[in-house]
Amino acid sequence: MSRVYFILLVLLCFPLFFLFGKEEEDILHILKTTETINFDGICDDPLWTTMVPLELKMFRPNHGQSSSEKSEIFITFDDQYLYVAGRMYYENGSRIIATTKKRDPNTGGNDNIGILLDTFNDNESALCFETHPTGLRSDFAISNDAQAIPPARPFERSWNTFWDIETTIQGDVWHVEMRIPFSSLRFQDNDGEVIMGMIIWRVIASVQEFAVYPLVTNAFGTFGIWKPSQAQKILLKGVKRSKPLYLTPYVLAGIEQFTDMNVDESQYVKHDDYTINAGLDLKYPITSNMTLDLTINTDFAQVEVDDQMVNLTRFSLFFPEKRQFFLERSSLFTVNTGYMDQLFYSRRIGLYEGDIIPIYGGLRLVGRAGKYDIGFMDMQTGEHDYYNEDEDSIEHIPSTNYGLLRLRKQVINPRSYMGGMVTSKIDVHGKYNINTAVDGIFNPFRNDYLTFNYIQTFDADVNYNNDFFDHGKFYINWENRSNVGFSYELFLSRAGNYYDPQMGFELMEDYSRLFGSLSYGWVYNEENKKILSQQIMGWVWINKRNSDWTTDVQKISVGYNFSMKSGFRGNFMLIDSDEELDEIFELSDDVYFPVGKYHYTTLEGSFSTPSNKLISLRAMLNAGTYYDGKILNLGPAEITFRPSSSVNLGLDYQYSLVTIEERDQKFTSHLARLRTEFTFTTKLSLSMFFQYSSNDNFGVNNVRFRYNPREGNDLYIVYSDEYNTHLTRETPTLPFTETRKLVVKYTYTFIIGNKREKREKHIINYRHN
């Protein structure tokens, strides 16, 4: 029977190869200049005065109309840099909103200008460079054509590279000059000719306006301006890509104070642990489209701590990756197998149940050759002893090697791919877990995408029984990605009993799943309309156990969301659930749900106020019945206060209450976070993060000082401590401070082989073709 399913899958996908041929696309020719550009943040060079500016059209709120403010955007390049320059005019310069100087801010409500570059012209991934009137640098990577896969977003804001920005405000005009080295970009060139995708945007925050070039469709919502598949193709002739070697050594010194129980277990005593460490990162562009990254004695002490979460489900929580080494073109290693499930989850390397496992080193090679994407990664971690509090035992984790190999090819049209990936996890004792995958994504129609993959597990602890469905997982999905008019999604997946991607993320085991959704959306472009968009939707999710074909999860939902042109947004969803528990679900030590069948209904909603105000609010609600009890979950509710570009404050709070009258059980949780950011300049900042969880009787403080005079040159001073709040819950009495750590880390990047060539002073304007 399993072979029949496989043959049907192949027959379904095979005709797609013949649906479309090569697509012809309009190309904008960006011509080269040999004129020396005075890079001072004032767009008044003679070069700019001879060029015809790109015309930005309103993307939001009134799509297709002329922008409410004039913009003059110019783009050119020389042997070393891609230049973006602009003059942004304001009827009244006092309406400029700039509330932060922070590197890579993750906040809205600010005036900004940015450029998206689909450097590989793959219509799926892109690099973005953005700045605000304060002159900050914000760069981020986009994956999956900006199509979000909840709960993750398609933006990697922790990704950084080398580039420069200068800005100046003169009266009612904001001047911007960006300088992006070609050595910071990855692209394919054909005898010096390079084709990329490009989108340029400007945000006028005071009126919630997005202006964009080219005028991309608003059928995909706000994310449409960051979709590489919608980008304007540009041609650059005479690109001379240098190949500098980036060497980034670091030195680190720190002290950690922690508490441990004494020999007779009568009290806790303090211990001090001093650390001196060093390591090295290397980046080398082997070719213009292939980059090698090497890391030795890897350290991520400067990475921001994870937010604590309250888990009210019986499934694992998903945390985003923040470590720089794993982020560049990370989408290449993504094989999504349904909802949050994925074959490779980089947080499996160097992290285990919240503990940090030492990484001896590793290398990564990513790039593109013709229509082929190529990726390789190999990492070696050290051994580690993990203390399991629930079982009061020590779990020894041996030194382990993690490997990935990825290959895929563009087929049918520029937005379709087919390929495969292999992941391997092998420890020093020879115990292995290997997964092989074949996958594809096809765009047969305008907004329709067909995605499929099949993955096979080979594990040292499991004898292979020749039933590839029992040891594997398949996933097939058909979706229409538009937010205007009818859209839909239908996917089917099945994970076998022995499917076990130990380098991936899986919510459930040994199941079959069916999901279907249907929605209808409206977008209003008329000036006299206050509403921007609205959408009604419905979906159904059915999960069955493969062992007995019992339906263990069935959810049916209807919902509505809206967005106002003023910036208010809301979302409401009614979910009817049926679940069958085959084992006890313990929400906490005092609250549990026995084996059995349950029916419950919940109302979920969210609401947010405009982000361009001094104070903004975002809140969520979940209320209703919950298994055989009741639930009220308020939050997380986030209040943001931005009094100036140097001070930003954020307060998050979440209240959770679960009551079960029949068993007289009650679960109450308070989770609070306070974020404070002081950005003295674009190079000097101090951030403080405090969080407290009543459920864990635990709190975390993190204070991070950063001095960043230029990209690749950083001084970090990080202080963190973890503390107990209910000290008498155990015997002997717990210490208030459990751990306390102070770390000083300095990195400096040496750029070798990046000499700027002498150039003649000659201007070549760009033109449209």
* Predicted pLDDT of residue 696: 86
What are 100's two structure tokens? Answer: 């932060």
* Predicted pLDDT of residue 4: 38
Q: Are 120 and 186 in contact (CB under 8 A)?
A: yes
What are 57's two structure tokens? Answer: 């059209």
Is pLDDT at 258 greater than 80 in this prediction? Answer: yes
Tell me the percentage of the chain whose pLDDT exceeds 70. Answer: 94
* Predicted pLDDT of residue 439: 96
* Predicted pLDDT of residue 730: 84
Nearest one of 674, 676, 673 to 648, comparing CA atoms: 676
CA gap 602, 71 in Å, rounded: 47
Q: What is the DSSP string of 297-354?
A: EE--TTSPPPPP----SSS--------GGGTTTGGGG--B-STT-BS--GGGSSEETT
CA gap 217, 100 in Å, rounded: 30
* Predicted pLDDT of residue 24: 53
* Predicted pLDDT of residue 152: 65
- The overall average pLDDT reported for the chain is 89
Is pLDDT at 215 greater than 60 in this prediction? Answer: yes
Is pLDDT at 2 greater than 80 in this prediction? Answer: no
Question: At 86, is the secondary structure helix, strand, or coil?
Answer: strand
Angle at 487 between CA 484 and CA 491, to 5 degrees: 155
Q: How far apart are the first and last CA of the chain?
A: 56
Per residue in 563-580, pLDDT tens? 999 999 999 999 999 999
* Predicted pLDDT of residue 284: 92
Question: At 646, is the secondary structure helix, strand, or coil?
Answer: coil
Higher-pLDDT residue of 9 and 280 is 280
* Predicted pLDDT of residue 150: 65
* Predicted pLDDT of residue 564: 96
Min mean pLDDT across 87-101, 280-294, 609-623 is at 280-294
Question: At 88, is the secondary structure helix, strand, or coil?
Answer: strand
- Residue 219 CB neighbours (<10 A): 19
Per residue in 118-166, pLDDT tens? 999 989 899 999 999 999 999 999 988 988 776 667 788 888 899 999 9
Q: How far out from the chain centre does Cα 278 lie?
A: 29
pTM (predicted TM-score):
0.87
Q: What is the DSSP string of 549-614?
A: --EEEEEEEEEEEEEETTS-EEEEEEEEEEEEESS-EESSSS-EE-SEEEEEEEEEEEEE--TTSS
* Predicted pLDDT of residue 543: 96
Is pLDDT at 408 greater than 80 in this prediction? Answer: yes
- Residue 238 CB neighbours (<10 A): 16
Tell me the percentage of the chain whose pLDDT exceeds 90. Answer: 70
CA gap 519, 558 in Å, rounded: 9
Is pLDDT at 56 greater than 90 in this prediction? Answer: yes
Q: How far out from the chain centre does Cα 549 lie?
A: 35
Rounded mean pLDDT, 650-663? 96
What are 384's two structure tokens? Answer: 């580690």
CA gap 36, 478 in Å, rounded: 51
Is pLDDT at 16 greater than 70 in this prediction? Answer: no
Rounded mean pLDDT, 430-438? 96
Per residue in 435-463, pLDDT tens? 999 999 999 988 999 999 999 999 999 98
DSSP 8-class letter at 32: B
Angle at 359 between CA 353 and CA 362, to 5 degrees: 130
CA gap 451, 441 in Å, rounded: 4
Is pLDDT at 767 greater than 60 in this prediction? Answer: no
Rounded mean pLDDT, 614-623? 96
Residues 6+ apart with CB under 8 A from 435: 343, 422, 423, 424, 455, 456, 457, 458, 501, 503, 504
Q: Are 165 and 87 in contact (CB under 8 A)?
A: no
Rounded mean pLDDT, 59-67? 94
Q: Are 696 and 308 in contact (CB under 8 A)?
A: yes
CA gap 182, 76 in Å, rounded: 12
Is pLDDT at 409 greater than 70 in this prediction? Answer: yes
Per residue in 708-719, pLDDT tens? 998 889 999 999
What are 494's two structure tokens? Answer: 């099945």
Is pLDDT at 7 greater than 80 in this prediction? Answer: no
Per residue in 338-386, pLDDT tens? 888 999 999 999 999 888 899 999 999 998 888 899 999 999 999 999 8
CA gap 421, 404 in Å, rounded: 7
CA gap 486, 535 in Å, rounded: 10
* Predicted pLDDT of residue 766: 30
Count how many residues are written for the chain. Answer: 769
Q: Are 732 and 267 in contact (CB under 8 A)?
A: yes
